[in-house]
Amino acid sequence: MQKTDDKKLLIAALIDIDGLDKEELASYIMLPPDTSMGDYALPCFRLAKILRKSPQAIAEELKESILARDNPFSAVEAVNGYLNFKFDRTQAAGKLLAEVLEKGPEYGSSAEGEGKTVCIDYSSINIAKPFHIGHLSSTVIGAALYRMYLKRGYKPVGINHLGDWGTQFGKLIVAYKKWGSDEAIEKDGVMALTKIYVRFHEEAETHPELEEEARRWFKRIEDGDAEATRLYNLFKEKTLEEVGKVYARLGISFDSYNGEAFYNDKMAPILERLEAQNLITVSDGAKIVDLKEWGMSPCLLVKADGATLYATRDLAAAFYRKKTYDFFKSLYVVAYQQNLHFKQLFKVIELMGESWYKDMVHVPFGMVSLEDGTMSTRKGKVVWLKDVLDRAVEKAGEIIKEKNENLSDAAAVAEQVGVGSVVFFALSNNRIKDIVFSYDRVLNFDGETAPYVQYTNARAQSVLRKAGGIGSLKGAPLTKEELSALSGREGEELVSLLARFGETVSEALSKYEPSVVTRYIIDVARSFNRYYLAHRILNAPEGERRARLQLVYATHVVLKEGLRLIGVAAPEEM
């Protein structure tokens, strides 16, 4: 049974308190940090001021009141100002297993987001620049949120807001004319573009006239010059072709690739409206929106030379997305260095009188680096994401060969484990934290890693295969006697965790935090392994075997689906 149903039962069992209705009480309910404490807890500390009693006294009184009436709990306990609730575990286990058996991978899905569109701006790679490890967090966080919104009934729209405009394209054309060729680009793709881009900046240090030449070429792109447009399109085509291979390995696709260039003809109406609303101020020839009243520096929209900026395009993009998708929410999965930019953007939209500014959310994240340092495209010091994935797959292959040299299709499993390890690592910590990537850590089969969860799922699948597959689990509903085989700490803990799946996905979405699901499936894997070691399954007595096998199946469903949501494959064997 999904925990949301349990919560409804809990709310129904609560009594009305003067000055506080049941819905408000329900908002205080939380999940205990340890399932042994209960299925739910009601902290009574915020009730102390209303009721003018200590939290401990309030918890005791509520407990007595609930126990005096019919209720669905096996236990209600008052502990240090908390009221802890435990449901009848046997009954809960029966409902859970029946639901998972019926729904399979659809377990944990809901219609809570029906009719609501969520735009997610993520990855946003730059044309003609390498898809490096710095893009990893935005890419996998956005993709995970996309899958989770879909799981809970929303309509997500994945947007790759390409960095496909700006003077860097003029620089690239100058570099191409001097040191590049179509043949080199055809052969080496973005690698060739990066090489000449780096050389441009090296040469420009002693030949500053190159910068002016680059500006002239970019003006020719803006004016639709045939040669400039041909080269611009060539750079874009080769970049998308190359990054498409990385996206395919990550299992990621987008609904829109509309980048900066797309909004060139959509900025003027926004600027005209800002002028008409007297929100534009001219400062040293530049057009700004003055935000000092709100403690922010000015939002620069048009430079003195007439050039537009990121903020101008992002304003145009925000209005385009609202008009096109009528979004319920619009998320920007962009590094925390852009905090001020998004505060300014949202404030300008608010000042324009649009109430939907409240539905726009910056989802910031920390930086990813390797153990040997940081990166700079201009200086040529970059770590390509493709190379990181390749190396992780290679190391995974070595470990798999050592552990199971007879594994069939070992190369495919190494790809799933290696790529999955990189993704899992990026999503295993709170997104705001800076993380240092280590191959040894991410490929550890015993730690809080993808291989650990993948191996646990493979173990569950192995048990099910030996039992004859899922077909052998079906039949009449489990009896109370059969369900009693799941009693005991290990079984009850695992049942309680599995019942939280759907609610955990919703919690991850409410916090825009995929790591909530990542940590959850680690907990499920650990709990299952404890159960697996403590109880007989395949050779269990006939009256216990079916219930235990159904619990194994439920674990497999949650682990595989949880891994899928964060973008990690689940090999059948390892």
Q: What is the DSSP letter of 78?
A: E
**Which residues sit opposite 504 in a β-bridge?**
none
Q: How far is CA 194 from the centre of its chain?
A: 29
Amino acid at the residue 302: V
How far is 159 from 119, CA to CA, in rounded Å? 7
Q: How far is CA 213 from the centre of its chain?
A: 42
CB 164 within 8 A of CB 261: yes
How far is 543 from 37, CA to CA, in rounded Å? 29
How far is 366 from 70, CA to CA, in rounded Å? 50
**Per 3-state DSSP, what percentage of the chain is helix, strand, and coil (rounded to 5)?**
60, 10, 30
Q: From the candidates 86, 95, 129, 151, which is the catalytic residue?
A: 129
Alpha helices, DSSP H only, in 438-484? 439-442, 450-466, 480-483
How far is 251 from 568, CA to CA, in rounded Å? 9
Amino acid at the residue 96: L
Alpha helices, DSSP H only, in 205-309? 209-222, 226-250, 267-276
Active site residue 95: no
Burial of 102 (0-12, 13-18, 19+ CB in 10 A): exposed
Distances in Å between the alpha carbon of 317 and those of 121, 314, 328, 364? 10, 5, 16, 19
Q: Which two tokens stand for residue 517?
A: 């699901």
Burial of 367 (0-12, 13-18, 19+ CB in 10 A): middle
Q: From the candidates 63, 86, 95, 135, which is the catalytic residue?
A: 135
How far is 565 from 427, CA to CA, in rounded Å? 11
202 Cβ contact partners less than 8 Å away, ≥ 6 residues apart: none
Label residue 488 left, alpha or beta by phi (over 0 means left) and psi (-120 to 50 means alpha): left
Q: From the candidates 63, 132, 236, 329, which is the catalytic residue?
A: 132
Amino acid at the residue 285: G
* Backbone phi, psi, residue 76, to 5°: -130, 120
How far is 351 from 315, CA to CA, in rounded Å? 12
Active site residue 132: yes
Enzyme catalytic residues: 129, 132, 135
